Structures are given as C-alpha cells and as structure tokens.
Amino acid sequence: MTYGCIASMKTQPGSRDEVVSILLSAVDGLRAAGCDIYVVGLSDDDDVTIWVTEVWRTKDHHDASLTLPEAKAAISKAMPMLTGEFTKQELSVVGGLGL
C-alpha cells in the first residue's frame, strides 16, 4: 500500500528559512527514489516549526531514500539548526487529488 507521513520539526530561532532551503534543495532525486508527493509547509503564526508531508510508493522506498548521499548530506547540514523536537505520523494513503 502507498506509504505516507506527516512530520514536523522545530528549528532554532532564526534558522527556519535556512532549514527549509536545505529540505527543498534535496528534492531533485526524490521522484526517482519512489516519492510521489513532497511538500514543505510553514504556519503563519509559528516561526520555528516546519511541516513535511510525503507520499511514497512504499515504506521501503521512503526508508531507502534516507540512505541516499543527497539525503544524508541535507540531514547532516540541517541537524545543528534543529531543536530535536520532532513529530511523525505514518499513514496508509488510500487516495486523493494528485495521486
């Protein structure tokens, strides 16, 4: 079944835009890795939280993507700007617009 996740991460104050830039810089290879949707979102009234919504062909595709050199580099670059506060909800995606 199609795998999805909605995750949030909190950044150090003043670092949110740079982390967003890092997250978006790593999207080029995601489609080839099995990603159908990758959306980075921000709340207008919270300047430290980033939301990421992903839809993958399978959970195995998602997990394998984390071993890609580009993903490892992006994660390594962003980690010092994060507080360590994360949330993650895994989903079985059953359909929707764009899928």
Architecture, CATH, for domain 3-85: 2-Layer Sandwich (3.30)
What pLDDT score was predicted for residue 87?
98
Task: Name which residue leads in pLDDT, 27 or 47.
Answer: 47
Q: Summarize pLDDT for 43-78 with one digit per residue, the tens.
A: 999 999 999 999 999 999 999 999 999 899 999 999
Task: Supply the DSSP string of the chain, one letter for each residue.
Answer: --EEEEEEEEEPTT-HHHHHHHHHHT-TTTTTTTEEEEEEEE-TT-SSEEEEEEEES-HHHHHHHTTSHHHHHHHHHHGGGEEEEEEEEEEE----TT-
In the chain, where are the structural domains located? 3-85
